Amino acid sequence: MAFARAAAVGSLAGALAEAAFCLAYGRLAARGPWPLALGSSCLAFAAAALALQHLPLGIAWLLPAVVAALALAFRLIPGGAPRGVAPPPPRWDIPARMAVTTGLVLLLTGAAPALGPRLAGLLATFPLYAAILTVFAHRQEGPGPAVQVLGGLLLGLFSFAGFFAVLAALLDRAGMVLGFTAAVGAALVLQACSLALVPGRK
């Protein structure tokens, strides 16, 4: 139970690193090729995760910090250009995405036991799927659609943060079943609230 709670707190902290990733990629997407944006965003994530690894993590200050960071990143990330009619993807597109994603998931999963719960929770929040979707959108359709992917990720991170905040707060008191049930309920409510913001996104 202690490992699960520490991992939940680490995952909550990881939302700060994800906000740094999204903001870095979003600001650089229109200024250079996708490798530059991806490399810079990965460095931003790593720097934030390294800093958080050496800070005392408490939900009392961590949750407000995550909410503020996500709101700030969502405000500062450039608005994505409207998506036009995209050309059909090449035949290797879907297999390539599957191969890259599977390889990275196996790498992170295999390394998790040696990293400890806190660092494993932080690294588990690396936006793997979103990064792959963003890069493919950037490469095939341009920076606008890539930024739109990141904006969607930032909106989803509010419910992500709510889930792990409730889980970390209730695991010791309520146990695994009630803790996860309450966390899922909180995530669903926050996700519904986040989706209400989508029509106003420019």
Q: Mean per-residue pLDDT for 67-95?
A: 72
Phi-psi region of 78 (alpha: psi -120 to 50; beta: other; left: phi over 0): beta
Residue 152: CA atoms inside 13 Å, Cβ hemisphere, count? 12
pLDDT of residue 125: 76
> CA gyration radius for the chain?
17
Q: How far is the C-alpha of 139 from the C-alpha of 143, rounded, in Å?
A: 8
Q: What is the CA angle 25-71-57, rounded to 5?
A: 90
Asked if pLDDT for residue 201 goes beyond 50, the answer is no
Within the chain, residue ranges assigned H as helices are 2-28, 34-53, 59-76, 93-115, 117-124, 128-141, 143-195
pLDDT digits (tens, 9 = 90+) for 129-167: 788 889 888 988 889 999 999 998 898 899 989 998 998
pLDDT of residue 78: 83
pLDDT of residue 14: 86
Q: Mean per-residue pLDDT for 81-100?
A: 61
Name the residue among 108, 146, 113 with its Cα closest to residue 29.
146
pLDDT of residue 8: 80
DSSP assignment, residue 84?
-
Asked if pLDDT for residue 83 goes beyond 80, the answer is no
Tell me what percent of the residues of the chain surpass a pLDDT of 90. 27
pLDDT digits (tens, 9 = 90+) for 19-30: 999 999 999 998
Q: Is 35 exposed, middle or buried (0-12, 13-18, 19+ CB in 10 A)?
A: exposed
pLDDT of residue 35: 92
